[in-house]
Amino acid sequence: MVHRFDTLVIGSGLAGLSAAIEASLQGTVAVIAKLYPTRCHSSAAQGGIAAALGNEEPDSIEWHVYDTVKGGDYLTDQDAAGTLCEDAIKTVIRLEHLGVPFSRTPQGKIAQRRFGGHTRDFGAAPARRACYSADRTGLAIVNTLYEQCAKQPVAFFPEYHVLDLVIEDGRCLGAVALELRTGEICAFEAGATIIATGGYGRVFKTTSNAMASTGDLLGILYSKGMPLEDMEFFQFHPTGLLGLGILVTEGARGEGGVLVNGNGETFMEKYAPRIKDLAPRDMVSRAIITEIKEGRGIGGNDYVYLDLRNVPRKTLETRLPEIMTFSRIYMGVDPSEKPIPVAPTAHYAMGGIPTDRDGRVLITESGAAVEGLFAAGECACVSVHGANRLGCNSLLDTVVFGRRAGMKAAAQKDKSGPGMPPGAMERARETVSSLLNNKGGVRAGAIKKELQELMMDKCSVFRDDAGLRAAAEKIETIRQKAGNISIDDKGEKFNTELLDAIETIHLVNLGEAIVHSALQRTESRGAHCRQDYPERDDGNWLKHTFIRKKDGEIHFSFKPVSITKFKPEKRQY
Amino acid sequence: MDKTFRIKRFAPEKDNASRWEDFSVELGPHERLLDGLVRIKEFTDGSLTFRRSCAHGMCGSCAMKINGRSRLACQTLADDMPELVIFEPLPAFPVIKDLVVDMEPFFEKIRSVMPYLVNDEPLPGRERPQSPEEMEKILDSIRCILCACCTSSCPVYWGDKQYLGPAALVKAARFVLDSRDRGGKARLDLVSGAHGAARCHSIYNCVEACPRDIDVTRHIAILKRQTLKRGLRGAR
Ligand SMILES: Cc1cc2nc3c(=O)[nH]c(=O)nc-3n(C[C@H](O)[C@H](O)[C@H](O)COP(=O)(O)OP(=O)(O)OC[C@H]3O[C@@H](n4cnc5c(N)ncnc54)[C@H](O)[C@@H]3O)c2cc1C
Ligand code: SF4
Ligand code: SF4
Ligand code: FES
């Protein structure tokens, strides 16, 4: 089956839905997603979306830009951060107009709370900048945008898994997808294609990310020899529920929660004297791991406590109700009575598909783009988050840059595009049938487990040369093993085992890109912390990494950082 | 601890009817039933088919019938279940494969109640004001994750597949109760038909099933009352 639309959006998270609504104003739009639209991982976002509304205390766009740049350890492109923070205010107001049920101040305005790294007066003290709907902000916004799509001419194709992008002579012609229900391979031809497929936290063993967060489209581009940007920067969120990695929002510390070590002491004042527990995530995660390594975990174990007992019960119930529920269900802990056991969890990919501010996918560090191909949301690297994203800046990124990509994509002159070349679907059919017929006997689950444990062990919060080299070697053997993945399920209909195997292969490729990018960057910046190179090195490394693989060889090139206003300074909080 | 997972299976390309299959699984006390299903799929029988994504009760994917009740596999801990755990697909929806059912009839109902904010008044430059008290009225319904645990447990829905069902009615109530919405009459018309709110007999299965503890019947009662009020006014 061949479908044809002016704009094709892959992914129904906040980036995809924002792009689709915008593009639907200028032509026909299809949204294809491997899950039902509202099942995307944006629905799990808890804490809020940042905008300098100034509803609760004075705020300014400039402070927001400064925080975003400093939070990103000066790898943030400042022109892009400017766009993000300027668009933030009208974006949040527009979301409210569309119906998002934000929590409110007594005066009926959108309520705002504190979040890590968001400050007033260029770092003087924490600022209330996070607009929220209790601790289920993602669900509130996803539902609203999905509801709005019901009013627009947006065609949804739920449970269609994209297997390939069709790019010929520098131009994207659409995508090839497998319809889960029937097992049929379909082509989607489009004048413009927008990738909005979210993060890839499943590369790591402990993660806050959904099981579907496997970075498929990054894997597809990487295997086509196209570049990925800043893959060494992966954020670990300080507070995942012990063992499960389920997120406890930074909003919990924004409302007054504190981290406590095995001696019963708060410890963040040692690492960030001014804003303590509200320091950016990279710093807090390192602080926790340092406490643990120096023997001050709880009972000498690999975790610390998040103590919310000093937060009034009423606040917990109205502003953090989901956290209360998660703690009770999964940990058996009532946070108003006992502290929550937490440890860092793999959370957010700063790196991804290189794009410009209009979402155009770049193929060179000097700015050449693939015609008709766009990317937005967590899968993309604009880069507004630099070496470390601030909380609440990602939901903002998805909506701001999703819209911009939707607008630009739909404005393509040649709306329907030249159509698919013959054989486009054949490649995908071959991938599927070779997997189904492979008798190698290796289970995808075993590959995934080995990869995730390796990445956690050698390439998480702290890294060094020896560990990364060992990881790079091991990944090569994992990749070879992955060539022997066999599948029990030979059926065509709803063959999720087949898709798990394909996702696993993408994860192995992304693991490789992360490890090699981390190995070559011999400095520490933001979330990338090299124990053998503990200092930031602006002289050599104030630049973005582009990694690509051609004929089995990995190549690096670099793109300068856009610096408009804020000169790199030592990062202290 | 060791559990027996007894799973109702159906492979559309092989089975004429569903069949039962037992798996034994070892699960830690903090582990979710979903972890057990994933382990079976990854290491024992890759063809076992179910939906999942977030693994912590936020996305609504993993709703299924577990020991006789519609619930989320990722929100049910091994510890809280007996040694024998019985898995079936969600009732009342056509089975596609194993624990996967066709959700289209469910989403179609949701789409049919004007599930979006209606307000054509001129937009203010800033946010529309809404007091915390007004917001409180929608606080319960906006938590819905569209998992279909409620609708699949509703005896009225079992008998009448055209019945809108609890989830779609909660969605309608979410907008009826929103102080910013002006779609009141048109939306109430949609839920007041022969297969609308009036069909509900307040049997409360839905409330019991909802993994988000949403007071489903309270929302249906509000719709009934508002429909009635409008009916009376119309008669004058
Ligand atoms: C637990 C948690 C809490 C968070 N809280 C916050 C917060 O409070 N504030 C904040 O700013 N950020 C937060 N974040 C980060 C933020 O939520 C995410 O970065 C953001 O939602 C990503 O949105 P997205 O649209 O890019 O992707 P997603 O929402 O992940 O959507 C990806 C889409 O792509 C589809 N897809 C993927 N692969 C394929 C394929 N092969 N074929 C077809 N479709 C495919 C999926 O079906 C899905 O629809 C949080 C993240 C997590 C994990
Ligand atoms: S209360 Fe109404 S909607 Fe809920 S189960 Fe009973 S009949 Fe169905
Ligand atoms: S009301 Fe509850 S049970 Fe019904 S769909 Fe929503 S969350 Fe699920
Ligand atoms: S997997 Fe998301 S609700 Fe269970």
A364 bridge partner residues? none
Closest Cβ opposite residue B97 in set A104, A110, A493? A493
pLDDT tens digits, one per residue of B124-151: 999 999 999 999 999 999 999 999 999 9
Check CB contact under 8 Å for B132 and A106: yes
Q: How confident is the model at residue A145 (pLDDT cuts 50, 70, 90)?
A: very high
- Chain centroid to Cα B32, Å, comes to 20
CATH code of domain B104-233: 1.10.1060.10
Q: How confident is the model at residue A377 (pLDDT cuts 50, 70, 90)?
A: very high
Closest Cβ opposite residue B135 in set A36, A101, A446? A101
CB A250 within 8 A of CB A275: no
Residue B221 confidence (pLDDT): 95
Count other Cβ atoms within 10 Å, centred on residue A68.
Answer: 29
CB B148 within 8 A of CB B93: yes
Check CB contact under 8 Å for A492 and B55: no
CB A501 within 8 A of CB A484: no
Q: Domain B2-101 class?
A: alpha beta
Residue nearest atom 3 of ligand 3, based on CA coordinates: B210
Q: Read off the pLDDT of each residue in B163-179 and give the average, rounded to a whole number.
A: 97
CB B79 within 8 A of CB B32: no
Q: How far is the CA of B214 from the centre of ligand 4 (A)?
A: 17
Q: Is the pLDDT of residue B121 over 80?
A: yes
Give the lowest-confidence range in A329-343, A446-460, B199-213: B199-213
Stretch(es) of chain B classified as CATH 1.10.1060.10: 104-233
Q: Which residue has the higher pLDDT, A432 or B203?
A: A432
Q: How far is the CA of B154 from the centre of ligand 2 (A)?
A: 5
Taking the Cβ of residue B184 and every Cβ of chain A, the question of whether any pair is shorter than 8 Å is answered with no
Question: Looking at chain A from residue 304 to 323, which residues have their Cβ under 8 Å from any Cβ of chain B?
Answer: 322
Residue A208 confidence (pLDDT): 97
Q: Which residue on chain A is closest to B139 by alpha carbon? A: A101
Taking the Cβ of residue A493 and every Cβ of chain B, the question of whether any pair is shorter than 8 Å is answered with yes
A to B CB pairs, distance under 8 Å = 169
Taking the Cβ of residue B15 and every Cβ of chain A, the question of whether any pair is shorter than 8 Å is answered with no
Residue B66: CB within 6 Å of ligand 3? no
Residue B233 confidence (pLDDT): 47
Q: Measured between alpha carbons, how far is A195 from A175 in angstroms, rounded to an integer? A: 10
Q: How far is the CA of B76 from the centre of ligand 4 (A)?
A: 11
Q: Which of B117, B128, B176, B214 to mutate to test the interface with A (most CBs of A within 10 A)?
A: B117
Active site residues of A: 281
Q: Which residue on chain A is closest to B55 by alpha carbon? A: A210
Nearest to A233 by CA among A569, A565, A572, A561: A561
Q: Measured between alpha carbons, how far is A529 from A522 in angstroms, rounded to an integer? A: 9
Check CB contact under 8 Å for B12 and A493: yes
Residues 6+ apart with CB under 8 A from A209: A41, A199, A200, A201, A202, A346, A347
Residue nearest atom 3 of ligand 2, based on CA coordinates: B166
Residue A491 confidence (pLDDT): 95
Stretch(es) of chain B classified as CATH 3.10.20.30: 2-101
pLDDT tens digits, one per residue of B79-108: 999 999 999 999 999 999 999 999 999 999
Q: Read off the pLDDT of each residue in A518-534 and give the average, rounded to a whole number.
A: 97
Residue B235 confidence (pLDDT): 34
Residue A493 confidence (pLDDT): 97
**Burial class, A367, CB count within 10 angstroms (exposed 0-12 / middle 13-18 / buried 19+):** exposed
pLDDT tens digits, one per residue of A381-418: 999 999 999 999 999 999 999 999 999 999 987 776 67
Residue B167: CB within 6 Å of ligand 3? yes
Q: Which residue on chain A is closest to B14 by alpha carbon? A: A491
Q: Measured between alpha carbons, how far is B231 from B236 in angstroms, rounded to an integer? A: 9
Q: Is the pLDDT of residue B232 over 60?
A: no
Residues 6+ apart with CB under 8 A from B132: A103, A104, A105, A106, A108
Residue A555 parent element (H or E) = strand A553-560
Tokens of A265: 């002491």
Residue A291 parent element (H or E) = helix A281-293
Tokens of A521: 């960057």
Q: Which residue has the higher pLDDT, A151 or A375?
A: A375
pLDDT tens digits, one per residue of A190-238: 999 999 999 999 999 999 999 999 999 999 999 999 999 999 999 999 9
Q: How confident is the model at residue A456 (pLDDT cuts 50, 70, 90)?
A: very high
Query: What is the DSSP code (8-state) at residue A331?
Result: I
Please give the full DSSP string across B27-79, using - where no structure is assigned.
Answer: --TT-BHHHHHHHHHHHT-TT-----SSSSSSS-TTEEEETTEEEEGGGSBGG
Closest Cβ opposite residue A493 in set B13, B42, B142? B13
Q: Which of A136, A143, A146 to mutate to test the interface with B (most CBs of B within 10 A)?
A: A143
Residue nearest atom 4 of ligand 2, based on CA coordinates: B206
Give the lowest-confidence range in A179-188, A272-281, B167-176: A272-281
Nearest to A235 by CA among A344, A81, A137, A341: A344
Is omega for the bond preceding A486 within 30 degrees of 0, making it cis? no
Contacts B41 to A, Cβ<8 Å:
445, 496-497, 500
Residues 6+ apart with CB under 8 A from B225: none
Residue A572 confidence (pLDDT): 86
Contacts B115 to A, Cβ<8 Å:
147, 150
Residue B158 confidence (pLDDT): 96
Q: Measured between alpha carbons, how far is A518 from B112 in angstroms, rounded to an integer? A: 50
**Mean pLDDT score of chain A, rounded to an integer?**
96
Q: What is the ipTM of this complex?
A: 0.95
Q: Is the pLDDT of residue A51 over 60?
A: yes
Ligand 1 atom, smallest distance to A161 CA: 42
A541 bridge partner residues? none
Q: Read off the pLDDT of each residue in A483-494 and give the average, rounded to a whole number.
A: 96
Contacts A40 to B, Cβ<8 Å:
59
Residue B97 confidence (pLDDT): 98
pLDDT tens digits, one per residue of B29-87: 789 999 999 999 999 999 999 999 999 999 999 999 999 999 999 999 999 999 999 99
Residue A416 confidence (pLDDT): 66
Q: Which residue on chain A is closest to B35 by alpha carbon? A: A244
Closest Cβ opposite residue A330 in set B30, B46, B103? B30
CB B38 within 8 A of CB B28: no
Q: Is the pLDDT of residue B236 over 70?
A: no
Closest Cβ opposite residue B54 in set A44, A107, A488? A44
Q: Which of B10, B31, B39, B42 to mutate to test the interface with A (most CBs of A within 10 A)?
A: B42
Contacts A500 to B, Cβ<8 Å:
41-42, 46
Taking the Cβ of residue B103 and every Cβ of chain A, the question of whether any pair is shorter than 8 Å is answered with yes
Q: Read off the pLDDT of each residue in A116-124 and give the average, rounded to a whole number.
A: 93
Residue A258 parent element (H or E) = strand A258-260
pLDDT tens digits, one per residue of A36-50: 999 999 999 999 999
Contacts A151 to B, Cβ<8 Å:
116
